[in-house]
Amino acid sequence: MSEQSNNKNSTQIPSGYEFSQKHLLGLANYSAEDIQYVLDQAVSFREILDRPVPKVPTLRDKTIVNLFYENSTRTRLSFELAQRRMGADVVNFTSGISSAKKGESLKDTIRNISSMKIDMVVVRHESPGVAHFLTQCVDAAILNAGDGAHEHPTQALLDMFTIQQVHGSVRSAKIAIVGDITHSRVVRSNIIGLKKLGAEVVLCGPKTLIPKFINQMGVEVSYNLDECLQWCDIAMALRIQLERQDRGTKFFPSMREYHENFGIKLSHLNRFPNFKIMHPGPINRGVEMESEVADHERAIILDQVSNGVAVRMAILYLLSGGTRI
């Protein structure tokens, strides 16, 4: 693997810097300083979450709607916990039991909800661009909780926070991202954020699951899992998106063959003693990694989940007008 960066310091926030973002639609619109600033604020929220009473009243006068058109466990619960721990009024919308089932459009849904006076919207949707579309429909701050295969910015922020926790800084960290690169919104946000903060990124997976010109995003591509695991500080395994395999396209011959070539195994942990394992979840045990690997002490997957609450508190705080916790 070639050297992509050798400066080991974290991104510095210049004096006079002000966080001026109104929304979080993706990390493409955020500068390195914006990203680092969110991570810096999240350190304070992480400390608050470790207190006996992990609550602060910073969003006491805010009303937030969580608008989920796609399934979610981690992102949805994490956002809701973050909002409640900051004292916000929280409304949950689930498309499956809403008037969307009677044919109501997204625009009408959001305009109706907006007329009930809301300050922020967290949205997950299967279509790329939905978060951006909502900024044109309502005045509230919009946070993208995953839009199709486009971006999942809070996942990447919590991933970078976790990398910073175990590696000291994101800059100079060697990250191997392994799996279904083509269909992943997590990888897109991570590549954008990790490169802005100066990490080295190598993508690994079957050729059919790696887009042709992805190296234009400043990453390298490898088809050799052993080489990647020997090189990296952190292996971030991505979910094989089974629901997309059902559309009739075969991206690899079988799950068994995928696991054989690209699954992380206990034998890798023994042979390569340095790397840690991340996964955004949900995990397909026995596919992306052996079950014992997911539960291994070198897996920091549940740290990612815990950190997600602090990171989401930080971005909610900043987008509600907070400056420095």
List interacting residues with ligand CP (CB under 6 A): 72-76, 146, 155, 280-282
Q: Which is nearer to ligand CP, 32 or 122 (CB)?
A: 122
- Look up 75 and say whether it is catalytic: yes
For residue 27, the minimal CB distance to ligand CP (Å) is 15
> Largest Cα–Cα distance of the chain, in whole Å?
59
H helices of the chain, in order, are 32-49, 74-85, 106-114, 130-135, 153-167, 185-196, 225-231, 242-245, 255-262, 266-271, 291-294, 301-319
DSSP code, position 141: E
- Look up 271 and say whether it is catalytic: no
For residue 76, the minimal CB distance to ligand CP (Å) is 6
For residue 17, the minimal CB distance to ligand CP (Å) is 29
Asked if residues 178 and 205 have their Cβ atoms less than 8 Å apart, the reply is yes
Asked if residues 222 and 204 have their Cβ atoms less than 8 Å apart, the reply is yes
Of 143, 165, 167, whose CA–CA distance to 155 is shortest? 143
Residue 269 contacts by C-beta under 8 Å, 6 or more apart in sequence? 293, 296, 298
For residue 74, the minimal CB distance to ligand CP (Å) is 4
- Look up 124 and say whether it is catalytic: yes
Q: Which is nearer to ligand CP, 56 or 175 (CB)?
A: 175
- Name the catalytic one among 62, 85, 124, 276: 124
- Name the catalytic one among 102, 212, 247, 250: 102
Q: Which is nearer to ligand CP, 146 or 206 (CB)?
A: 146
- Look up 174 and say whether it is catalytic: no
Of 50, 79, 53, 51, whose CA–CA distance to 67 is shortest? 79
- Look up 102 and say whether it is catalytic: yes
- Name the catalytic one among 152, 171, 196, 239: 152
Q: Which is nearer to ligand CP, 32 or 158 (CB)?
A: 158
Residues recognised as catalytic? 74-75, 102, 124, 152
